[in-house]
């Protein structure tokens, strides 16, 4: 497996944990980290069925993007920086496997946007979320205006982005920004347990379910239902469908082959 300067990769069976590790900057995202993430996502082991993303240390998931790198940029350079970060996060959102964010601390700016790009967000009760960019003279640049509105609603997104207010984990749970909140020492165990439960299911079916949820969100009801029906039908062309249903009927454990 590739060695990275700012990423720690820990794979166990079908679950992989990607830890962003730049503790001196509270794991703030710079071009180097984004390039490493892009490379990892493009070359991930095909045996991985669930990815967990977290931050190194107890204080921060990702404290934002690297302000020292952004400060001197002109308009064209700023657009390029934002577009590349957005591309990496879109790759996470459309990855063929589920991605769980284990938010262990500050998830501000780019860190909040990274969590938003993941399929499921679990948080420590020490976590804080926010989009403070307007206080720096910019707006969220890694698709935060888009995803926060979709996940938490337009009114909440406008309030948090316009004000730059950071919220604690309990409020993030209340507005639907995170799925669950845990004590700090329980967070990774909970993320791994969820990942392992997902990994036991038919990988193709999980992938098709992710595609359906992502693709159908903005479709009219009839189109969304038709899309789901087609994807449902495609499941019956897989070996895993035969394995899963046979295991159910024979009361044995299904061992899916991803075929």
Q: Is 77 a catalytic residue?
A: no
Which residues pair with residue 102 across a beta bridge?
54, 122
Whether 133 is a known active-site residue: answer yes
Rounded Cα gap, residues 162 and 183, in angstroms: 30
Q: How many residues does the chain have?
A: 259
Spatial neighbors of 118 by CB under 8 A, at least 6 apart, are 53, 92, 93, 99, 100, 101
Buried/exposed 107-138: b ≥16 CB within 10 Å, e otherwise: bbbbbbbbbbbbbbbbbbebbbbbbbbeeeeb
Catalytic entry in 69, 77, 79, 113: 113
**CA–CA gap between residue 58 and residue 102 (Å, rounded):** 12
Q: What count of other Cβ atoms lies within 10 Å of the Cβ of residue 237?
A: 8
Instruction: Provide φ and ψ at 31, rounded to 5°.
Output: -60, -35
SS3 category, 67: helix
Using CA atoms, how far residue 34 sits from 22, 77, 140, 178, in Å, is 12, 15, 16, 23
- Sign for the pseudo-dihedral over CA of 110, 116, 120, 123: positive
Which of 76, 93, 133, 183 is catalytic? The answer is 133
* CA–CA distance, 104 with 111 (Å, rounded to integer): 11
Distance CA 20, CA 256 (A): 31
Task: Please identify every residue annotated as catalytic.
Answer: 113, 133
């Amino acid at each position: 497996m590739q060695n990275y300067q700012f990423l720690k990769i820990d794979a166990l069976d079908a679950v992989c944990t990607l830890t962003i590790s730049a503790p001196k900057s509270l794991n703030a995202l710079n071009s180097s980290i984004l390039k490493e993430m892009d490379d990892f996502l493009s070359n991930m082991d095909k045996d991985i069925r669930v990815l967990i993303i977290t931050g190194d240390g107890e204080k921060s998931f990702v404290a934002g993007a690297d302000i020292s790198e952004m400060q001197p940029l002109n308009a064209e350079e700023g657009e390029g920086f934002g577009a590349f970060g957005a591309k990496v996060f879109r790759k996470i959102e459309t990855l063929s496997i589920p991605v769980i964010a284990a938010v262990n601390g500050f998830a501000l700016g780019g860190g909040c946007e990274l969590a938003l790009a993941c399929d499921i967000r679990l948080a420590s009760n020490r976590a804080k979320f926010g989009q403070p960019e307007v206080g720096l003279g910019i707006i969220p640049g890694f698709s935060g205006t888009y995803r926060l509105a979709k996940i938490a609603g337009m009114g909440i997104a406008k309030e948090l982005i316009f004000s730059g207010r950071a919220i604690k984990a309990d409020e993030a749970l209340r507005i639907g920004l995170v799925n669950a909140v845990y004590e700090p020492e329980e967070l990774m165990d909970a993320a791994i347990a969820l990942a392992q439960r997902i990994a036991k299911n038919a990988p193709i079916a999980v992938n098709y379910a992710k595609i359906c949820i992502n693709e159908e969100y903005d479709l009219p009801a009839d189109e969304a239902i038709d899309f789901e029906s087609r994807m449902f039908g495609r499941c019956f062309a897989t070996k895993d469908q035969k394995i899963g249903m046979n295991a159910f009927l024979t009361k044995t454990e299904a061992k899916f082959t991803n075929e």
